[in-house]
Amino acid sequence: MPTEQPYLRPAQGQVSETVEIKRSQFIAVAQRTDSETAARAFIDDVRSTYPDARHHCTAYIIHQDGAQPIERSSDDGEPAGTAGQPMLEVLRGREILDITVMVVRYFGGVLLGTGGLVRAYQQATRAAVDSLSLVRRHHVALHQFTVGHDKAGRVEAELRVAGYTIADVEYAAEVTMTIAAEPGTDVAGAVASLTGGDVEVSSAGEQWVDSPVA
């Protein structure tokens, strides 16, 4: 059985949205980051793209297997609690992990006050998040069996036609196939019906996969 619950995360690619409030520009850039190292690299990259901005505020949430997600935020010179934490709250509210958002601010000369800053950074973050394509990351169970070369091609083809995902095929004296399927799927029964029941299917663990969000 899966040890981790499914969760939403961005598909690959970067998005950028600009919000203008009282002559200040808030440029929100968001991207999937699979680790804290990737998040920091993304932050450095965006900061170097906008080196003349007054503030580079950030928030990220990174999934960890078997542990609570890593959450970090930075106000980068804005009054404490007016930028990074409000941005992080947007990400929490959308229940998206493996994501980093930086909001770059070009000051327009008009002070927004603490409440105005909170609303501005959240508005910019929401704009970027709304532009993202999302995937659902979830576990699949892996099933493995060995079959002779004379049957391998037909068995593989029929499994694919039936909708099964062939995760790996190894050719040696015999052919070893690995099938990825949702937990609870009767893979052994499907393989038995194609091989006359003389093939043993064993568990090969589980792995994460991404599926499009409808």
The architecture (CATH level 2) of 136-212 comes to 2-Layer Sandwich (3.30)
- CATH H superfamily, domain 7-132: Impact, N-terminal domain (3.30.230.30)
In the predicted model, what is the mean pLDDT of residues 48-72?
95
The domain ranges of the chain are 7-132, 136-212
Q: What is the pLDDT of residues 121-180, one digit of tens each?
A: 999 999 999 999 999 999 889 999 999 999 899 999 999 998 888 989 999 999 999 999
Per-residue confidence at 209, pLDDT binned at 50, 70, 90?
confident
Q: What does the pLDDT read at residue 184?
A: 84
Burial 48-86 (b: 16+ CB within 10 A, else e): eebeebebbbbbbbbbeeeeeeeebbbbbebeeebbbbb
* Cα–Cα distance for residue pair 119/114, rounded to 1 Å: 9
pLDDT digits (tens, 9 = 90+) for 14-35: 999 999 999 899 999 999 999 9
